[in-house]
Chain A
Amino acid sequence: MAKGKPDYDNLSPTGHRNPPMPWFGMDIGGTLTKLVYFEPCDLETANEEEAEALTTIRKYLTRNITYGQTGIRDAFLEMQKQTIGGRSGSLHFIRFPTSEMNSFIELAKAKNFPHLAKSICATGGGAYKFEDDFKHQVNLELHKFDELDCLIEGIHFIDRNNDKCECYYWKNPGDSKLATKEKFDFRNPYPYLVVNIGSGVSILSVRGPAEFQRVSGTSLGGGTFLGLCCLLTGCETFEEAITLATDGDSTKVDKLVRDIYGGDYNSSKIKLPGDIVASSFGQMNLKERRENATPQDLARATLVTITNNIGSIARMVAVREKVERVVFVGNFLRVNTISMKLLAYAMDFWSQGAMKALFLEHEGYFGAMGCLMEYMKLGQKM
């Protein structure tokens, strides 16, 4: 997996051939597809027909913040005044459910995308899964890039180039009133752990710019949270699930240490505080407790269960890898301060302050960003 050291600060030096526009990076995950689009501000194109097609795409993408029923541009994440391939412009961050991939392909056809480029690049599992669809329906060659390479490249690029602070941590995460986001200088981060929480969870140990490997993972991830919430509460979207969870109380659902022992567990050798969760969903085997639990409580308990589990696996992997910085990324953390604070608190508590949970503003877009960078490199060979 090791490669030559990429130059994040000066990507694609002048004099080098760029691939054809439009410039996209796409990360097709199990649940969400993430797109990074580079919008050049210095319009200069080879011919008018191409210019027209490019303009159509640009206008469509940049003048809307929603696409169809489910596509969304995260306008607040937009990065302006970026130089890529010698061109200056803005990076836009767009997402839509992977289940809508066919609509996306239709849209690409309608916007005359295939006329502009023979290929599109993608990472994530879907790059393999949808390869044939792209080929047969829009005659686009799908260039596939490894998702872990893309993820790490994307993290490093965005961290260096985002003039608003990219990396942060939570101060006083255990206290809802005092908790604040604080800047973290991520310029010399090695070694660190990346916990990428998408549908499932991948954990990568990163020792240098190009020295990293997948060391662990779990199938209990964002997909599990949303899947269980849909089943338990009838909610339909991640946002809905998070909103429910925000208003819920997981102690109505979980069994705490004090529910079993009447208070703290205190023996000569072992001490556990009473308010610690002993058994997630541990009260739900009782009919009357089930009847008293609201959808909000269930959503909250699901969120807490999944988050704590990820936190505990991440912490143990960090100990094993002898790493102190743990970076949590992935779309599970989107609009999800509950989980971030829980992770921050758990890391801090269980490691007695030795470990730090870090977060990045562009949560789920690093794979797509890295993919765009790979596409740019591809230009040299085209």
Chain B
Amino acid sequence: MFASETVETRVKSIQLPDENVFKNLKTARRFAIDIGGSLAKLAYTATVQRKTSRVLEDDKDADSIYQVSDTNETVVRLHFVKFETKFIEGCLDFIQSHIRGVHSSLREMCLKVTGGGGYKYEELISRKLAVKVDREDEITCLIKGCNFLLKNIPDESFIYQRHGSPEYKFQGVDLNIFPYLLVNIGSGVSLIKVESDNQFDRIGGTATGGGTFWGLGSLLTKAKTFDDLLLLAEKGDHREVDMLVKDIYGGAYSLIGLPADLIASSFGKAARSPRKSSHNNIEETQTQFKEEDLARSLLLSISNDIGQIAYLHARLHGLKKIYFGGYFIRGHPLTMHTITYAINYWSKGEIQPLFLRHEGYLGAIGAFLKGAEEDGTLQNAEKYSWEENFAGSSGLAQSSRVLQTQNSNFDMLELDRLEKATLPFPLLLDPDLYQPDTVDLTQDTQARQYWLQCFIDGTKKQEEQAIKSQSQEEDAVTRAAMFREQYLARLEALKLNPCAFGSLNVRGLLDMRSHILKEFNFTDSYSQQKQLENEQALRCLADRLQTLDGISDPGDRALELARGLLAGNVFDWGAKEVADIMETGELRFEDAEEKLQVRPWLLDDFDAWLGKRLNGHTYHCAAIFCDNSGADIILGVFPFVRDLLKSGSKVILCVNSRPTLNDVTYQELLILLRRVAAICPVICEAAETNQLVVMASGQGSPCLDLRYIDEDLVSMLKSEGTDLVVIEGMGRAIHTNFDARFTCDSLKVAVLKNRWLAQRFGGDMFSVVFRFEEGSRLNKQPGTCQDERTGIYENKQHGTSQ
């Protein structure tokens, strides 16, 4: 007893789970666990309470348009934690001690268990947590989890290409995931053909899997753990152990196309000829082979074999996509490369091997969803949209270097439920091909270096703003410092492995920043700033409208409206170089207009836009994606909207559902609209007659991901027959959607407020992008759509030539 306790203590002192691993246990509900032979994955849902700001209209105070007050918001979050099965007891103890007394209801709940280790630990779990344990079918859970991830998490799957640029080619969101082959590599291997959510079939399996690697590896080397074996393999040279084609032929067997370096016989060199060993004893002959070489040979032979068997099954069943899940791969590049090589070799590139960022969580997610569906914890779990919380999720471990330095034994995934379901933007030309981000920073090294440094440099300012926004809070300084530390650590990690969280882009960097800010309770750092600027801008609106009405020539007026839209967009706390000027408080709307590039603009389709407007073309309904508070929305967007309204168009103002930076939010815009209406009769009437409406976009980012649009907005866009899309600002029209094509006319308007980016486009600070494109029809000929899409560099030329 005593001996076992000391062992336990020693283990615990290294591996003790804490509140940073099993978060929010106080509100945890609905546990599920997937216990594999080597790794256990715990899933639960919890509610996260955090402070946010709320705006309330204040009619009594003439000076302020609304009051900003603190309020609590509740976020439903799914937690997934992965740890080695051998620590399960310690983890259960930790959970038990943290939920004890909190839930009496837990007792009545049953906990879903899946995975091969399920039946072994059932009793332990039931005893420790005092819950009823309910076992779920492993394969059903795997498929459920896999479908959920593929549908909900962007860039969940990727192609691995060693020495490729990028090394990981992420697949975005696949709208048509079926049919596919799921190869789940646990101790053994199961191959499952999946045709729909409920239609799947285990079409094969092999016993040569992760357990074989681990078992044989333990016999052949002194490695203690699975990861130790992988590290050995990384260092080894299989050619010392394997018999290659060239060892038999002296070169390639070109007649049937076998390359010289192809492995002809795995471990073939370890088969000693009797004479070689007859004078040596076993110990001596065994030392001929290095552990590293043996481990590598083993890894390659098993990965190759799995690849080949997966290919054969996919071929027999006519499947073109193979996803790999289970604990064997662990994001290990050598394994992924070998499997990819095998499948490409056999299928001649016709079948695509795809890996999953969260390969280890499939079973746990599936078991959790199964339970949640049954007890109603998450009614219609699959109808909600989920967002990966970058603040609490671990990234992909990439190289052995990362594996070695990873001191945490816990890997986490957190998914936040969005308040409402989202759908793809209905006016995209080709939703299958749509990819929001303009530049893939995993591919573009120069851009990656610039932006990572840019965000590192800007972190201090964000920290200060966060403190400023909660100056009355005692712990604001501490929390802000924690934000800075965590964000900087993430940015440094991304320098090492840009692919850790899916495709890297400016949008992701911005979102990660706001996730971490929220994690430390800074949900709306700019609330007071936005209020101040909204008030200032409102005071100038009447003058601005008067100025515009004073221009008699319709062309001149249209140009001034466009310039106003652009000038408003100069006011942006998200752009570091502009923020520096704004901090001095000396930027007036007129000054901003002065700063704009003179025509012709960098990308100048104004004449085309004007032509269409002067021709008497009336848009039926325009959807405008708004950017910043203050001058941008009030002095730039509203006058532009008024003009559209006057011409008879309906206008839908699409604004962020959740706060970020100084972007205007749905709640704020509702109040602002009433204030503007009080100043402008056109807007007032339009608002009353629903000719002008404000809608939440479903987004909470300074960028715009048109794959996730609020379902109510989507249905309105459709029912109103929207025929013009206006996207405003750098985040929404440059960093994202610059290349997006629509079935209706579109206008992308932005001022380049970042010198580096402006120069990359061939312009300078305050260069103007005014891109007008008529709607197109999807040409269903293969390839044409993509060919039509112009990349940023072609556009650079397009811009400078004007």
Contacts and interface: CB of A to CB of B under 8 A. Distances in A.
Partners in one complex: yes
Interface of A: 29-31, 69-70, 97, 99-100, 124-126, 128-131, 146, 148, 198-200, 214, 216, 218-224, 226-228, 230-232, 234, 236-238, 253-255, 260-262, 267-270, 272, 276-285, 290, 298, 305, 308-309, 312-313, 316-317, 319-320
Interface stretch (B206-214, B433-441, B445-453, B572-580): B206-214
Contact of B187 (A199, A260, A305): A260
B212 A305 contact: yes
Interface string B233-269: 0000000011101011111010110000011111111
Contacts of B267: 223-224, 227-228, 231
A67 to B, nearest CB: 14
B201 A230 contact: no
A204 to B, nearest CB: 10
A221 B265 contact: yes
A224 B268 CA distance: 5
A282 B187 contact: yes
B313 A277 contact: no
Nearest to A146: B255
Contacts of A312: 204, 206, 309
A308 B208 CA distance: 9
A270 B184 CA distance: 15
Contact of B139 (A220, A270, A283): A270
Give the secondary structure class of B's interface: helix
B140 interface: yes
Contacts of A124: 248
Contacts of A220: 208, 266, 301, 305
Nearest to B312: A316
A221 B265 CA distance: 6
A237 B268 CA distance: 13
A137 to B, nearest CB: 16
Interface string B520-531: 000000000000
B274 interface: yes
B202 interface: yes
A313 B220 CA distance: 26
Contacts of A146: 255
A340 B63 CA distance: 93
Interface residues of B, number: 76
Contacts of B301: 219-220, 224
Contacts of B178: none
Contacts of A221: 265-266, 268
Nearest to B278: A236
Contacts of B250: 125, 128-131
Contacts of B251: 128
Contact of A231 (B205, B210, B286, B315): B286
A31 B271 contact: yes
B312 A320 contact: yes
A219 B304 contact: yes
Interface string B313-357: 101100000000000000000000000000000100000000000
B308 interface: yes
Nearest to B262: A219
Nearest to B187: A279
6 contacts: A30-B247, A129-B248, A230-B271, A231-B286, A282-B212, A284-B219
A305 B212 CA distance: 9
A202 B238 CA distance: 21
A269 B289 CA distance: 45
B116 A260 contact: yes
Contacts of B617: none
A319 B139 contact: no
Contact of B269 (A227, A262, A268): A227
B215 interface: yes
B255 A219 contact: no
Given A128-B249, A219-B265, 12 more contacts: A31-B265, A99-B275, A227-B271, A234-B286, A236-B277, A260-B116, A267-B140, A278-B188, A279-B188, A283-B215, A285-B37, A316-B313
Contacts of A279: 186-188, 207, 209-212, 215
Contact of A227 (B186, B241, B248): B241
B490 to A, nearest CB: 34
Instruction: Pick the 9 closest A-B CB pairs, nearest first.
Output: A279-B211, A125-B248, A281-B215, A227-B267, A284-B215, A223-B265, A223-B268, A282-B211, A227-B270
A336 to B, nearest CB: 15
A232 B243 contact: no
B282 interface: yes
Contact of A290 (B186, B218, B241, B242): B218
B276 interface: yes
